[in-house]
A and B are shown apart, each in its own frame.
Chain A
Amino acid sequence: MTQDISRRGLMAGAALLTAGMPGIGMAFERDGNRKVLVFSGNQQVPVLDPHVRYDWSTRMIQQSVYDALLKYEGDPPRIVPWLAERYEVSPDGLTYTFHLVGNAKFHNGDPVDAEAVRFSFERGLKLNAGIAWMLKDFLKPENIAAVDARTVRFTLDRPFAPFISYVPWWYVVNPRQVRANQDGDDLGRKWLTENAAGSGPFRLRRFDANTLMHLDAVPDYWKGWPMADADRPSGIIYRIIREAAPRKAALQRREADIITNLTPDDIEQLSRVPGVVVENHKGSTTFGIKFNCQQGPTADINLRKAIAYAFDYDSLLAIHNGAAVLMTSPFPASMAGHIDVPGIPRKDLDKARDFLRRSRFPNGGIELEYVHVQGLEDARRIGLALLDSLRALDIRVNIVGQPWPTMTSRGSKPETSPNMMSVYVTPVGTDPDTVAYQYHRASWGLYYGTAHYENAEVSRWIDEARGETDNAKRMALYARIQTQIVADQPELFGMVANRIWARRDYVQGFTFSPVRFTGEIDLYPLWARG
């Protein structure tokens, strides 16, 4: 009886508390008679400037408000013409000439002309931040020429085969708007942090770095829209929800139409929810455990091999609930030139013991440090699997979680780089150079170069492949590079985890492309049915 009363009291209290609250939980929001789609992820967009920063959430917004000469689309990724309708490469691989479409307009009505393209590449190189590393060693700002209003010519210092694969990430800004908002000689850097000066399918309506981005569709986008005119959404909101539970709740309640940053455990749970579709695609982000190849026990190649043969690779698949594929090469399978390297280590304890005997630690008896990003549960569990696997060799593993900035700082020098460090790397383009270069001597100390791997021959092949204009010869070089890297075992080659999104079933036009970053999708083709 008392229980009844208290329950009634509780209900009354709850009713009182929420009396007059606005009704929430409708299907998609409408703006006039058009829909607004909501995409939710965990990562903020601190800097929108396309020449200063990129990460998955940032680039998703940049791709929506800006255009580039070319664009990546589809799976496997293709490079399609965008602001440029076509381009030519000179036979010596030094000169690239782009011919622009005639009808592209910036959001303020200014035409996108050759000068805008020249200005944008020059700005990217001069700011020397974000994307600059892609081209700065091969292209000088003065060697970009606006030949006429619709022709831009790039003259490289020396042949650089990956050039075209980076062009889609060089977004074009409106020079007039940038100059008008310049602060001193900052090339508009301060202003472009929170404002946009682009020609993309969406216009920036609201920028709130910590909360949300609201994008308005440009009705007369110069390139047109892929959906029927009546279906075109009024805009898209990128909403930041940091915790996984409320983000999933938002999808279930239709406060969000698509969400990302899901774990493999969520796949099953969400696919049971009526009206929710899970997008589960093979990714391109490689997971590897980098050995310190210069200092400490792991400088011994036999010990590295022993570890690689002792590790239980199936545990990687188990940890990801099967939503992952094992690496068969240092390159992810979506990468041009990828080969399945024959004899890439799989668990074989006899071989492992054999290599251990040949190492400086024939009986094990050592402790190795395994460092992973603090709070990253998958990486920690992989550490546990490693610990378990290496027991057979009498090698102890000390699993340490550290913040990412601390890890990168430790990994920058061979003296401080941990014995083993788990690192996820997403290649920035489809060209094999993006992955191969991680194993070049010049990458020492960068987050993907914490192994401090040295093989002068491999470095030389990588340089050679960069300048090779004959594609067949180039791919043959990459096959050699992959095989040699696996032989040297600078890291334990792990797996490529799937990319996962969940969306309401009325969301149409979802397209996956492995070249985009982890949570990133192309917002341009999205619309809502019904």
Chain B
Amino acid sequence: MLGYLLRRIGLAGLMLFGLVCLTFVISNVAPSDPAALAAGPDAGRSQIEQARRDYGLDKPLPEQFLRYLTDLAHGDFGRSIATGRSVGTDLARYFPATLELVILAMALGVLLGVPLGVLSALRKDGPADHATRIFAVSGIALPPFWFGLLLQLAFATWLGLLPTSGRLSVFTEPPPPITGLLLVDSLLTGNFGLFREALSHIILPAIVLSLPCLASILRVNRSEMVEALRMDYVTAARAHGVTPWRIVMVHALKNAMLPTLAIIGLRWGWMMSSTVLVETVFDWPGIGLYAVSSAIAGDFKPVMGVTLIVGLNFMIANLIVDLLYGVLDPRLRRA
């Protein structure tokens, strides 16, 4: 088990290195001049050259890459060219907002997707199955930014029930962070007003973010359940007089959960990257928004930082899924 774990971690490390190389190359292939960006719109040549020296952009690319790698190894993501701020500090500031959004969206996806998948498998080809199928297909097909705008129009503009965007009302100062997750922090400090406010802001973006995830969990879980319910052990259990509830929840679902888990792992990474769209629509101050505003400005260090964080999330999520596989399926433990 330990060897397996070490192998997986080693592999993740290699992938991370590949990702670093890739992001570095992509950012430097882009035909823009970061020094001109740093110096400002009306800057003359001397100012641009000074900015180039300040940010070490006058060095040859291999040297810049080596420096980037060394800095990364020390946990330094470099400096944003547009703001001069440390990208690491910015990431630490914005990541909790994204994490909170993704956790809630994932919770929605799993808590609704799995039961609905089970339900539609049990009522295969019945009205419930058709309804969830339509729901799932549209969930995957709806572009998140469009769906987000639609929800804003409905719940914020027409019904006036929820705020349009942001993480808190502009008049509320966020409390000093404990975990950085507002919902958790407000509960920890017993500030229920703040909890309600944070919840009202996070609901719409979380729904938008969770929809594709919910839909794919639902579909995968349904087909796996249909498969599992056909198995001999289910027939055997039924013959032994095991209660239907136990058959579904313990015998079938446990087996159906394996591929579902894989999907959850993948979706975690996907969600981290789709925050780019959702956070822009809802002005959610997370790493997605940070990446977008930096990319538009041609500021690549933050984009590289966010890419690494998202990549890291992909890897960790899949690592955890692999380990959970071992827990759920004893055969894998021996292999």
Contacts and interface: CB of A to CB of B under 8 A. Distances in A.
Contact of A212 (B84, B170, B203): B170
Contact of B283 (A52, A242, A428): A242
Interface in A324-376: none
Interface in B104-156: 149, 152-153, 155-156
B255 interface: no
A403 B298 contact: yes
B283 A20 contact: no
A243 B36 contact: no
A518 B171 CA distance: 26
A453 to B, nearest CB: 17
A214 B170 contact: yes
B32 A246 contact: no
B285 A210 contact: yes
Contact of B153 (A38, A240, A245): A245
Interface stretch (B159-167, B264-272, B326-334): B159-167
Contacts of A209: 83
A29 interface: yes
A410 B32 CA distance: 8
B50 interface: yes
Interface in B285-301: 285, 289-290, 293, 296-298
A193 B31 contact: no
A253 B160 contact: yes
B157 A253 contact: yes
A408 B33 contact: yes
Nearest to A209: B83
B41 A447 contact: yes
Interface in A444-474: 445-447
Interface in A170-222: 189-190, 193, 206, 208-212, 214
Contacts of A18: 155, 161-162, 200
A133 B171 CA distance: 38
A15 to B, nearest CB: 9
A22 B197 contact: yes
B62 interface: no
Given A246-B281, A403-B32, A24 B160 contact: yes
Given A243-B280, A409-B36, A211 B164 contact: no
A431 interface: no
A21 B200 contact: yes
A406 interface: yes
A250 B41 CA distance: 31
A453 B149 CA distance: 45
A485 interface: no
Contacts of A141: none
B46 A128 contact: yes
B33 A428 contact: no
A404 interface: yes
A116 interface: no
B298 A246 contact: no
B196 A406 contact: no
A249 B170 contact: no
A240 B40 contact: no
A194 to B, nearest CB: 8
Interface string B71-110: 0000000001011110000000010000000000000000
Interface in A1-60: 14, 17-18, 20-22, 24-25, 29, 31, 36, 38, 44, 46-47, 52-55
A203 to B, nearest CB: 15
Contacts of B162: 18, 21, 24
Interface residues of B, number: 61
B159 A14 contact: yes
Contact of B166 (A20, A31, A211): A211
A295 interface: no
B164 A246 contact: yes
B232 interface: no
Nearest to B197: A22
A143 B203 CA distance: 59
Contacts of B31: 406, 409-410
A129 B170 contact: no
A405 B32 contact: yes
B231 interface: no
Contact of B47 (A54, A133, A208): A133
B266 to A, nearest CB: 28
B43 A129 contact: yes
Given A210-B94, A253-B160, A428-B42, A405 B33 contact: yes
Contacts of B45: 445
A255 B164 CA distance: 9
B176 interface: no
Contact of B152 (A20, A128, A249, A428): A249
Given A22-B197, A243-B149, A404-B298, A44 B164 contact: no
A242 B282 CA distance: 8
B47 A129 contact: yes
Nearest to B157: A249
Given A18-B162, A21-B196, A46-B82, A210 B42 contact: no
A189 B197 CA distance: 36
A299 B296 CA distance: 31
Nearest to A444: B45
Contacts of A53: 40
Contact of B84 (A55, A133, A189): A189
Contacts of B152: 245-246, 249
B307 to A, nearest CB: 17
A239 interface: yes
Given A133-B47, A253-B164, A405-B37, A46 B83 contact: yes
Contacts of B47: 128-129, 132-133
Nearest to B46: A128
Given A211-B283, A409-B32, A412-B33, A253 B156 contact: yes
Interface in B7-65: 30-34, 36-47, 50-51
A428 B30 CA distance: 30
Given A128-B50, A245-B152, A252-B157, A408 B36 contact: yes
Interface in B187-218: 193, 196-197, 199-200, 203
A47 B166 CA distance: 21
Nearest to B80: A46
A132 B50 CA distance: 12
Nearest to B199: A21
Given A46-B82, A243-B149, A245-B149, A405 B297 contact: yes
Nearest to B156: A249
A246 B153 CA distance: 8
Given A129-B47, A408-B33, 4 more contacts: A24-B169, A46-B83, A243-B281, A255-B163
12 contacts: A18-B155, A22-B196, A22-B200, A24-B162, A24-B200, A25-B160, A130-B40, A189-B84, A237-B170, A243-B149, A404-B298, A410-B31
Interface of A: 14, 17-18, 20-22, 24-25, 29, 31, 36, 38, 44, 46-47, 52-55, 128-130, 132-133, 189-190, 193, 206, 208-212, 214, 237, 239-243, 245-246, 249-250, 252-253, 255, 403-406, 408-410, 412, 428, 442, 445-447
Nearest 5 Cβ contacts at the A-B interface: A405-B298, A405-B32, A18-B161, A46-B83, A246-B164
